[in-house]
Amino acid sequence: MQPQGVDTAPGRVRRWLDELPVGLAPLLIAATGLIAGLYLLVHPVPDQRADLTMWVFGALHADAYQAAAERFVADTDRTVDVQLINYNAVNQKLRSALWAAVNVPDLVEIEKSAAGGFFRGPLDKIGFLDLKPYLERDAILDRVPAHALAAYTDRGAVFGVPHDIHPVLLAYRADIIDPYLARRGLRMEDLATWDDYFRELRGLLVPDERYLLQIEYGDAWAFQIFLMQRGGGIFGPDGRLRMDDDIAVATMTWMIPLVADPGDRKVAESLGNWDPSFYRGFIEGYYIAALCPDWRSSQIQTFAKELHGKLRVVPLPAPVPGGLRTSQMGGTMLGIARSAKDPELAWRFARAIYYGSPEQHGRLFRTTNILTPDRRAWSDPAYHEPRPYWSGQALGEQFIAVADEVPPFYSSGFLPSAQAKLNEAIVSCYSRYRSHGADGFEAYVRQRLTSAADHVRRQMAREPEWDAEE
Amino acid sequence: MPLRTARTAPYLFLAPFVLSFLIFGAYPIIRSVMLSFYITSGPEAQHFVGLDNYLHLLQDPDFWTAVRNTATFALGSVLLQLPLSLGLALLLNRADIRGRNVFRFIFFSPNLMGLVFSALLFMLILAPRFGLLNAALHALFGLPSTTRWLSTPSLVMPALIMVALWLYTGFNMVYFLAALQAVDGELYEAATIDGAGRWAQFWHVTLPGIRPVLIFVVVLSTIGSFQLFELAFLLLGNSSGPDQAGLTIVMYLYQNGFLGGDLGYAAAIGWTLALMVLLLALVQLRITGTGKEAR
Amino acid sequence: MRRLVVYMLLVLFALLCLVPIAWLVASAFKANADFHVYPVVPPVDRLTLANFTSLFTQMPFLRFMMNSFFVAGATVILQLFFSSLGGFALAKYDFAGKKAVMGVMLATMMIPGPVLLAPMYELIYHMGLIDSHLGLIVPGMVNVFGMFLFRQSMLSVPDEMLQAARIDGCNEFQIFWHVVMPVSRPIVGAFCLIAFMGTWNSFLWPQIILQSSDRFTLPIGLNQMIGVYEADYGAMMAGTLLAVLPVVVLFFLLQKEFIAGLTKGAVKG
């Protein structure tokens, strides 16, 4: 106990505090702010005025390019600042930067479905350089499957080079399916069509406990894979919307019953596409197979370690006998900004990271399972070594086997809108089928897809004829 | 001398606000209003369309979906959150309750999470089959654990309202608690002497006593609800949810501007929303008669 | 009996508030694979600190935290000063244009933030503040909500007090600082907490203008962990836990002032 009025140090502090008009709270906040400020003063951010700036949204990409940037400095004496940016932030920042015409990075990676949004407007005023001349000059065009460029080509100009192909295979629980098929004298490779697949595995189905395939029906992800496998798409090569054509109607009419049929006729289910419950469902055998682009195989490896040695991949069963055994999902492009100070230098770095040595791509494949579109690299041993996680399969060979058949994906500035409309249509078709069954379902699907597409067409009709103006 | 300084003083004191508003408010606002008369794509691709963005907006079914969703959320939030906050405040305001500070702290604590972190948390809690909520509903009430909260259209809004309820109830409770503590205790005594029951006391003493705070909270909650974006967007995995069931007005603005690339149309959406909110706030104030007695 | 019911209700609601938070804490110590195996708490031997180690090795987490503290500290102090000053002017003076100022303040609260993003970006760029903490602090220097809060609370300061101070020879700023602020101390506490939480959790704007990861604040840094195709949920939960901790501590310290402040601010609608 301090006697009152004695001028001790704590007493002085207390009195000073009492006299201060603002009280303790701001003092506390100011003190932490000050300490943090001092810390930042002592550890200043290194000045990164590099010759090239690059925005990247994937952590693994960023690591790889950082290493490449170090080699680039050694080779050319030019520096590259690789900035890792959250996926959504890339779109926001690039949009703001392009619009304000300031602070645009020299190189930027963009996710496939967002790319088209950046290709609107007059050709000569789009924020990205046409890379076709570079691709032709350096003879890269024939090293890359043509379909890989489709999404980034608009009115003949190539605004981005593809980082990947992302073929889709079927990843399945070999520990459950293979013994079952073996007892019946079959192998997974014998199931050539989806009909075969669901018919032959029927005995494994246990409603509410075990489904034959993971198909998400809350968004268009799985639907797009099936759609492209059948040769359809949201947009056609000429920028025309085709999400309501016969192929789309047939795909929808086929897919929805798989997840919406009652009782034991329902063969597929989903627990979400991205969060941990997807992996959990796979681990617990709630579904025993999943559509698997190359990048997803690496996610499964990371987040479902328990499945080590229990999974295999096979080509997708075809929609019809002799049909396509793969599809396509996702992707990343690299673009060079029109405002780049030194496009030639930017291209050199782009070439170094996208079309570098086979070993470099092999390393990428070992860490990410992502197959490069650069054919020259496919001979690297990394693609041909057995993977214990995948029951000893040579994972790379599996993806390479279908790589040339991957269907092209066509982008558009109206893709986000069309995708949103498609999501809606899927959900409506699902509930319609649940309530009315197969009765008149196809007619409903056609009408629903058409109304969704018409909505997007109305939006597209507002688009000014950019190139005609001036 | 003091009189003269007293005359200039308020202008000096307000100068920081006025200056900051002129730079960071007025300029972007004008710029953005102008933008709303164009279809845009990139810096140099602007196509003047006059009021066409606004006219198209009025016939845009997606916009109305967004309006409907946002209004549902606002209504759900205000009608569930505020009575619940008030109820909790009333319970906590009883003199015979021990540990009031502890309860107060607990009720407020969800708010400390902030909405970004809450969205990340609830994304996992609401997962089907393995998520905490389904696991709990299954264990306690035997409900099926396969409920897909965030991918079933009819459940998206309830889920969002639920998360908002968790996040903001405690915060509003603090307002009400503060207001309740300021109600004159003698009024209650007088009411008791007059033989007023609990309900009558609540109706004739408590409510009038906290009325200003009540109105303040209602208006603020409404404005906040109508600007819902980040919580829904992050919770639905950066999308508008199945069947656009989680599409809010600001999210639609974001989609058009930052994904579709037309900042002009996005601006038109934004200003239409601002107008709607303004009207709504004015109506609320008019209904509650606040305008008349405001000092 | 009645009291028992009240307690039961309170405890029930307290549980509803706490369970998600408890789950967050438990998740921060869970391996990714265990996330959904043990919905609540896994057995002790499955608990792990791996999420925290990966948090600190994967990213400059300490740096994010310092950035957040610096930005929040500077913003709150500036907002506190300018908002209370402005609130004081609006509460205690009659002057031409007062109505207009209040009208503008109300109107700005109606404007959805994203609609101004692009022009703001342009503006901040031309001020040379892209990718800087100043770009976060400067545009948010005056908090309109805070001005309203301070105005409401200062309305109740009797005019006689100000008059007396003037007679004592105080100038107007001294009146504000030495007479009005001390009696508004509770509202200062309340405002500090609200403003701190607002800045600490601020997301959209920092995400757009910050570029170097060395300058990221916590929400931006943590959100970075959710890629398009990848997400380390365990580390994210650990990061969330650490990010929320300072706010909890602050609230704990300021609880009394916070409530008292709102009482004072709220009495007069």
Q: In A85-146, which ranges are E strands?
A: 107-111
Task: Assess whether C23 and C72 both reside in one domain.
Answer: no
Contacts of C161 (CB under 8 A, 6+ apart): C179, C183
B35 assigned to some structural domain: no
- Partners of A31 on chain C (C-beta within 8 Å) are 73
- pLDDT tens by residue, chain B, 295 residues: 344 567 889 999 999 999 999 999 999 999 999 999 998 876 667 889 999 999 999 999 999 999 999 999 999 989 999 999 999 999 888 877 888 888 888 998 898 888 888 888 898 889 887 788 888 888 888 888 888 888 888 999 999 999 999 999 998 998 888 888 878 778 888 888 887 788 888 888 888 888 888 888 898 899 899 999 989 988 887 788 888 899 999 999 988 887 777 889 999 999 999 999 989 988 888 887 664 444 3
C142 vs C39 pLDDT, higher one: C142
> Are the beta carbons of A218 and B151 closer than 8 angstroms?
yes
A95 assigned to some structural domain: yes
Verify whether the Cβ–Cβ distance B9 to C172 is below 8 Å: yes
- Amino acid identity for residue A442 in this structure: E
Task: Assess whether A248 and A277 both reside in one domain.
Answer: yes
Q: Find the CATH number of the domain harbouring B138.
A: 1.10.3720.10
Task: Assess whether A434 and A288 both reside in one domain.
Answer: yes
C44 assigned to some structural domain: yes
Rounded Cα–Cα distance for residues A13 and C251 (Å)? 23
φ, ψ dihedrals at B128, nearest 5°: -70, 150
Task: Assess whether C31 and C126 both reside in one domain.
Answer: no
Verify whether the Cβ–Cβ distance B116 to C219 is below 8 Å: yes
Q: Residue B152 is part of which domain span?
A: 52-290
- Partners of C74 on chain A (C-beta within 8 Å) are 33, 37
Task: Assess whether C146 and C192 both reside in one domain.
Answer: yes
Averaged over C66-82, what is the pLDDT?
95
| Confidence at residue B43, expressed as pLDDT on a 0 to 100 scale | 60
Task: Assess whether C124 and C201 both reside in one domain.
Answer: yes
A202 assigned to some structural domain: yes
Task: Assess whether A317 and A343 both reside in one domain.
Answer: no
CB of C115 less than 8 A from some CB of B: yes
Task: Assess whether C31 and C110 both reside in one domain.
Answer: no
Q: Residue C41 is part of which domain span?
A: 1-48
10-residue block means of pLDDT along chain A (470 residues)?
A: 53 71 81 93 81 88 88 92 83 79 88 87 88 94 91 91 96 97 94 96 95 92 96 92 97 97 93 82 95 93 92 97 95 94 95 91 91 94 97 97 94 86 92 94 97 92 74
Task: Assess whether A147 and A192 both reside in one domain.
Answer: no
Number of domains in chain B: 1
| Confidence at residue C186, expressed as pLDDT on a 0 to 100 scale | 79
Verify whether the Cβ–Cβ distance C39 to B135 is below 8 Å: yes
Distance from CA of B64 to the nearest CA of C (A): 17
Looking at the predicted structure, is the pLDDT value of residue C227 above 70?
no
Q: Which of A428-432, B39-43, C130-134, C152-156 shows the lowest mean pLDDT across its residues?
A: B39-43
Averaged over C34-47, what is the pLDDT?
71
B65 assigned to some structural domain: yes
Number of domains in chain C: 2
Facing C208 at nearest CB: one of A36, A48, A93: A93
Q: Which of A137-141, C166-170, C264-268 shows the lowest mean pLDDT across its residues?
A: C264-268
Task: Assess whether C22 and C83 both reside in one domain.
Answer: no
| Confidence at residue A8, expressed as pLDDT on a 0 to 100 scale | 65
Question: If you measure CA to CA, which chain C residue comes closest to A63?
Answer: C58
Distance from CA of C186 to the nearest CA of B (A): 12
Task: Assess whether A321 and A334 both reside in one domain.
Answer: no
Task: Assess whether A160 and A172 both reside in one domain.
Answer: no
A115 assigned to some structural domain: yes
What b-and-e string marks burial along A372-393, b requiring 16 or more CB atoms within 10 Å of the CB?
Answer: bbbeebbebebbeeebebbbeb
Task: Assess whether A241 and A186 both reside in one domain.
Answer: yes
C52 vs A212 pLDDT, higher one: A212
Task: Assess whether A286 and A182 both reside in one domain.
Answer: yes
Task: Assess whether A272 and A210 both reside in one domain.
Answer: yes
Task: Assess whether C69 and C167 both reside in one domain.
Answer: yes
- Helix C61-92 with C144-154: angle, nearest 10 deg: 40
Q: Which of C10, C27, C48 corresponds to the end of one domain? A: C48
In angstroms, the Cα distances linking A236 to A68, A123, A411 are: 36, 19, 8
Task: Assess whether C194 and C103 both reside in one domain.
Answer: yes
pLDDT digits 0-9 by tens, C81-100 = 999 999 999 999 999 999 99
Q: Which of B219-223, C36-40, C93-97, C114-118 shows the lowest mean pLDDT across its residues?
A: C36-40
Task: Assess whether C117 and C188 both reside in one domain.
Answer: yes
C11 assigned to some structural domain: yes
C53 assigned to some structural domain: no
A184 assigned to some structural domain: yes
Task: Assess whether A262 and A202 both reside in one domain.
Answer: yes
| Confidence at residue A9, expressed as pLDDT on a 0 to 100 scale | 67
Number of domains in chain A: 2
> Are the beta carbons of A62 and A56 closer than 8 angstroms?
yes
- Partners of B9 on chain C (C-beta within 8 Å) are 89, 93, 172-173
Q: Residue A252 is part of which domain span?
A: 168-325+410-462
C137 assigned to some structural domain: yes
Facing A277 at nearest CB: one of B41, B130, B244: B130
> Under the phi-then-psi rule, with left for phi > 0, alpha for psi from -120 to 50, and beta for the rest, what region is A166?
left
| Confidence at residue C46, expressed as pLDDT on a 0 to 100 scale | 78
Q: Find the CATH number of the domain harbouring A451.
A: 3.40.190.10
A374 assigned to some structural domain: no
Verify whether the Cβ–Cβ distance C229 to A299 is below 8 Å: yes
Task: Assess whether C137 and C17 both reside in one domain.
Answer: no
Per DSSP, the three-state class of C230 is coil
CB of B18 less than 8 A from some CB of C: yes
C231 assigned to some structural domain: no
Verify whether the Cβ–Cβ distance A86 to C223 is below 8 Å: yes
| Confidence at residue C263, expressed as pLDDT on a 0 to 100 scale | 60
| Confidence at residue C231, expressed as pLDDT on a 0 to 100 scale | 64
This prediction has a pTM of 0.87
A151 assigned to some structural domain: yes
